[in-house]
Structure 1
């Protein structure tokens, strides 16, 4: 790195030493070794250029986000400057990756062409487009990534379609205040502040986008952006079990996976395990039940014959039985036409039910509600028929998930999330010793002062 970069980096105390190296090198390439960047050198949307920044910001960045970043860096209207200095360039990175709420507020206001002022309201439509531009850029980064994780999903038919990316941005913006399904017009600084504090997905999307745009943790000579720096959790889970499926019939989108994965408990977000598909394993309730039992927490995803996509998160392993099981971590969701999540009310515990071959109880799968009026009801026989009730007291804010109350299942999938749990039986067989099953013998040895040699060689429990 030349003297110019060292001098630039020394001026900015916001950056760590490692970040100084990357950000200064990126700035140096765009500024042509000067102390200022011209706007034309930074963003040349859609063109391929030899400039290093163009390789990061040209092909991947959503044109709207390019304009928003330009507003932050160079200003807008009569206040617009023809150039930007290193400190402002570094601030854009730092505030988006690890900024305080106030710093992120300033970025949002300035990017949308507004001065940060507590009395200024932001048009909701503008905020929605801002969220869409960040979501769109993240999906573009994923699609151009060389990581095996992203490539496996994409090669199996999981696209990043514009309509679904737009729905992801809308779902992120919709939580800014008020009723999720009522139209917003403007949001206040107070609403924006609370939203920035609580919206984890927006923060993660922005963080990963700016880590990529600024080339942080990029290996020397690697011209492909890395969607996830080494120490960062991915918003995209590791797909387990898809490799063996040559003609996988994907019906959900990369945007759906990112959004849905952000709502399940963090301990399960690293991996999705493919368990069942009605297209691959057949339309058989018995087959589905056999494949999803004892698999830990799972996600049920259904597409009805009208193209509505919805489902539920089941926090405990499915099992056949006459009673409801599960806990308040359970939630229902829709993915299309909108992305919405309905958390548990704790009003009742009717989270999961699955039964088959009984005469006195319903044969099928239920999530929420009552036997005859489930939030989701999947009939066992004939398999392929289902229903979604108009109301469901088990989940807060619930609205009917399918287009029609009674629907035909076009596609049904179940994914296990997180690592597969260790079966208790196997664990018991491994850990139990003779002394464990005979406490009296153990006590006699203790009183006699005898050493129990097996204690030292017992295998440690699995992590």
Structure 2
């Protein structure tokens, strides 16, 4: 009976716009493989959906399957004992993969324990955290960097993403010290929030639902960057931390993280830090202090050594631990990023974000290891990034984000820079020239460019 109903549901009349017929057939075959006499035992559902871990999410997924409304016109076979009819499972599995915000809102509310009415805020945060944790486990980002998918960091990211819904009338910088409210949220409110976060959390949830329905259908998590680091390098961030920071970046910079500097690899040297980051494009600066607090800033422009602020309004400050927060530009001023290391100079020597001279939102002194955070920062409307106003740096990591700039020459001589700009890209990259010569490829620009000027 279950098999016949399943076959019927795969007719052209039931084909969806969000899933191919081939995918529907895969789901049907998967259900038929694990079904006994038209029903699927609840224990089997838990076993398949838990993937060996994530038991709590699997239990909530089972509750979702049992509560999901029957929209079919055919009478479904009744459940027998602790089992679900395979025909209904096929219907539910297909429907919950619909990326439409209204459907995904229903999915999220059921994962939160709602029966279709209001949702308790604590339950919602926990459900979102479970979804994020599963997404991070699916990622397996750069195994050599030994990323972890822990519940604590997933919970912090969940609260940050839900901040606008949980604390609708409070400033972001004020909410970090506020207790999680215990309130009932309307399903309409949850849907409005999800519509505003469809490009990030919506993608996360649909990917996780696919992994619960059928692992073979699971798409690779698309919100993580390719991480380029040495095999021995420990990133120092959890997968959820990286997910939070990467999705806060401008879209064009999310594809890749390049390790530019880590004091555990390059040493505790401010001069080496500058050499590694100047002219290398946008960067994420991540600080971990001796007490385990993690925080930092995103510099939207290449670093330049000069005694003035520079950068753009895309820059932001962030905290990761003990709370997660993204603090963006307020438009109050343009004091986004600062890097200075000049002798006989009255301006501070070091690297800074936001605020003003002598009171930066975040400042790393040229005396490597010394750091300061302001109690608040008008540039980014951020709170103190950690409780200690002068934390001591344990780990400092700088990541170049997005593709490496084509022109990253660190020479400060203006004449040399002008000469470099006139040179062919292959002249600046002798390895590429040699590779073209080895494979017998000619260089199209050869003979077409102007002759080199005669030396004076």
Give yes or no for TM over 0.5. yes
- Alpha-carbon displacement from aligned partner over 1:196-251 (angstroms, at most 9, x marks no partner): 11124321221221232333655xxxxxxx660xxxx62221111323xx3x3443
Deviation at 1:456, TM superposition (A): 12
CA distance in 1, matches of 2:186, 2:276: 49
**Structure 1 pair 364–70 and aligned structure 2 pair: CA distance change class (3 A):** same
Does residue 391 of structure 2 align to residue 407 of structure 1? Answer: yes
**Structure 1 pair 340–458 and aligned structure 2 pair: CA distance change class (3 A):** farther
Equivalent position of 1:363 in the other structure: 349
Equivalent position of 1:109 in the other structure: 109
Deviates more, 1:95-104 or 1:355-364: 95-104
Q: TM-score, normalised by structure 1?
A: 0.78
Equivalent position of 1:354 in the other structure: 339
Does residue 54 of structure 2 align to residue 62 of structure 1? Answer: yes
Q: Does the 8 Å contact 2:130/2:154 carry over to 1?
A: no
Does residue 234 of structure 2 align to residue 237 of structure 1? Answer: no
Q: Does the 8 Å contact 1:22/1:214 carry over to 2?
A: no
Equivalent position of 1:150 in the other structure: 142
CA distance in 2, matches of 1:356, 1:340: 30
Matches within 5 A, 1:308-457: 308-358=293-343, 359-380=345-366, 382-396=367-381, 398-423=382-407, 428-430=422-424
How many correspondences in the alignment?
A: 395
Q: Does the 8 Å contact 1:61/1:137 carry over to 2?
A: no
Deviation at 1:74, TM superposition (A): 1.1
Equivalent position of 2:152 in the other structure: 163
CA distance in 2, matches of 1:8, 1:458: 64
Q: TM-score, normalised by structure 2?
A: 0.79
Deviation at 1:28, TM superposition (A): 1.4
Q: Does the 8 Å contact 1:22/1:216 carry over to 2?
A: no
**Structure 1 pair 323–60 and aligned structure 2 pair: CA distance change class (3 A):** farther
- Alpha-carbon displacement from aligned partner over 1:51-85 (angstroms, at most 9, x marks no partner): xxx2xx23355222212211221129xxx955445
Q: Does the 8 Å contact 2:6/2:87 carry over to 1?
A: no
CA distance in 1, matches of 2:127, 2:193: 14
- Alpha-carbon displacement from aligned partner over 1:364-400 (angstroms, at most 9, x marks no partner): 01100011111100000x211110001211013x100
- Give 3-state SS (helix, strand or coil) of 1:407's partner: coil
Deviates more, 1:357-366 or 1:5-14: 5-14
Equivalent position of 1:9 in the other structure: 10
Q: Which runs of 5+ in 2 are unaligned?
A: 69-77, 409-416, 427-443, 450-456
CA distance in 1, matches of 2:446, 2:272: 45
RMSD: 2.9
Q: Does the 8 Å contact 2:258/2:400 carry over to 1?
A: yes
Q: Does the 8 Å contact 1:172/1:201 carry over to 2?
A: no
CA distance in 1, matches of 2:303, 2:91: 48
Deviation at 1:108, TM superposition (A): 2.4
Does residue 114 of structure 2 align to residue 125 of structure 1? Answer: no
- Alpha-carbon displacement from aligned partner over 1:247-302 (angstroms, at most 9, x marks no partner): x3443212211111111112111110001011111111110010011111110000
Does residue 201 of structure 2 align to residue 197 of structure 1? Answer: no
CA distance in 2, matches of 1:217, 1:121: 34
- Give 3-state SS (helix, strand or coil) of 1:323's partner: strand
Equivalent position of 1:100 in the other structure: 100
Deviation at 1:177, TM superposition (A): 3.4
- Give 3-state SS (helix, strand or coil) of 1:108's partner: helix
- Alpha-carbon displacement from aligned partner over 1:411-437 (angstroms, at most 9, x marks no partner): 1110001110110765542289xxxxx
Q: Does the 8 Å contact 1:168/1:255 carry over to 2?
A: yes
